[in-house]
Structure 1
Amino acid sequence: MNIVSKYKFLLLLITFSVTHAKNPVLNIKVLLKTAPLKENHSYVFKSENDLIFSCSEKPSEQYLFKKQISIIQQKNHLFIKNKKNKSNILRMRPVDGHISFDNNNYLGTFYIHVTDKNVEIINKLPLEDYITSVLGTEGWPGWSGETYKVLAITCRTYAIYQLQQARKKKQKYHLKPTNAHQTYFGTHSCQTIKDAVNETKGIFIAFNKKPILAMFDSCCGGITPALIHNTVNFKEAPYLARSYPCTFCKDLKIYSWHKDISLNHFKKAVLNIFPQIKSITGIQTEHDQAGIVKTLIIKDGKKTFKLDGKKIYSLFPEVKSFAFSCTKKGNSITFKGTGYGHHLGLCQWGANELVKKEWPYKKILYFYYPGTQLMKLTPREPQK
């Protein structure tokens, strides 16, 4: 290993403003992986252009690794080149280009945080690079640049909102790489996406001059969000309480779905919650005014067991949304539903249909998030 010359960091303070000054560089931190410290794991980081490595124990010292760093986790410690690590934060970045980790390529810097209980691997990268990557997995091949502009602004807004929430909670990371937040699997080569992100750089959706919780799903299923019972706090997020439906996705295949599963498969899943169930003799669903399942009622003879409708969504991957019916026939359970997701905010496929009708991205965003306005990230002036 060779010591690499020290370097300094320039900290840029940012704020949210309606002016159109040059965009700042805002970094996003994504929790790519977490594992209990007591477990045994091996982590490999690769780069075609070598890796610069440092640790919190001696932050002024940096080392150059030739194309690969292997980190072994065992006996409640991390080992690098067979030497026990004593630092609680490890940092690495490529000399140029990307880092390969778990079969994906990532831009930016990697941090490995070691706590008393866990090892957390976090990827820190510029917001716009993150949004470009996210659109590669949240979008759909063949979408036009205008559709990707809609999605870029939506995903950017969601990321900024979550960043702010994470800072309030003093979390080390801002987002997870799954649909718990936004799916993120590193870089891609789609130029249409890159252009859409660049052409909307720094633009986000605001309500009362603050970034909104820009929720979105693949297909809303024609649900009117304002009628949904027991969902997000509409007083805090009135822009999600859209009082009119999106009907633009209704002719698409994704709009409705149907799935049959075996009674045994269904029973095995619900027994984890209700182990006292002996036999399933019937199933009913109770819906709210919007058509979302509030409660699924499982009958066992004269006994009934009530399960929250959203729990069914998490129990069975076959269930694509919260708007569905569930019936029992013989040894089969049939789910029929509309939509793909949680039915709040932007309907991606509906937005794509609106683009075909020549709606500009601004009009589309105002349709799905009523009462909002578009703003742009700008640097804060230094205090004198």
Structure 2
Amino acid sequence: MTEMAKGGNLPVPSATLHVAVVWQQGPGIPDVDVSALLLDAAGKVRSDADLVFYNQPEHHSKSVRHLGKGQDAGPSGTDWIGLDLSAVEPAVDRIVVAASADNDAFGRIPGLAVHVATPEGAPVASVAIGDASTETAFVFGEFYRRNGGWKFRAVGQGYASGLAGLAADFGISVQDTAPAAPVPAAPVPVESGWAGPGGPDELTVDFPPFVHQGRAKQRVTCPPNLPAGRRVVVEIECRDSISVTLYTCDVYGRSDELLLDAYEDEVLGRTVATVPDDRPLALLVEADSPWTLRVLPLGRARRLDVPVHGAGPDLLVYEGGPGVLSFAHQGESNFAVWHYYRSTDPEWPYEDQDLLVNEVGRLDVLAPVQGPGLLRIGADGPWQISVGG
């Protein structure tokens, strides 16, 4: 791995890269939340959509993604950003990798560094940060265009004024973007009828995301710290594969429930699974190219409170009441949406399931929804879902 000093730069492949901000965890040490900012030639974001972070995890161009937090061996913490430099829009001149630290000073966080590697783990660059002090927001490095290619510069610049100072530099509207630290989703009132085996507080359950990389067919056993009996988001990312299929496994390790299948060249799909009460969650991935699996808290799923765009399989949280949803699909194959919600039958204390849409090809339809719950989407192309007609 190329060890870089602050201010140094080097060429990087114009391809897919994984960027990891790492630190040493421990009692009283703040957590770190990484973000990426896509800047134009003037050094500013074009809009708040050019900020990618845990609550806005994918840029609309699909060139930058927040991959979530993982747990390395030992006490190290890691927060990941994924880049596809070949897909960056021409108007974007730089991509800045920054972070905040729970409104605390980065000087209190030992072992700070940023590592750049290929998805297969081949090292590209590494920068150790040893001089942080009172900064509460930090720019670790930046990717920038040069002579038709891309280079990476080690920056190591902090802001004692926190995200507000960083925002002023890059043109972000702080009120409309990320807080300095993750804010758990607000508890859903019991009277809202929120569905799920975990009860009305299901969206507030938190745990460190689990990240696992593999290839071909592989069974993955998740760590035992996942909340027993609760639902979790399961995300799979894969490209250049003929198909990607994801199952839960039964107690004997056999494939059980089909969670997701996709047939696109580039897949970033989300679905939902329930952690067993008596054993760790086990998942079976089938693909013919390298993939990344992530298990995230249910609160990380996107909310359907404004029109939501996506492509391929996904999972949404709907917190509204009974009403009508609008569905548009631009793919050529099947488009299906399942709604999981609390039963209104007092004799049936479990959740009900409605198949709201199940059609092939392009469509623009309406369907009634019974109330708050989860929407699981199966799709092969771009789609949009919104509330109302």
TM-score normalised over the length of structure 2: 0.30
Which entry has the higher C-alpha Rg, 1 or 2? 1
TM-score (norm 1): 0.30
Larger helix share, 1 or 2: 1
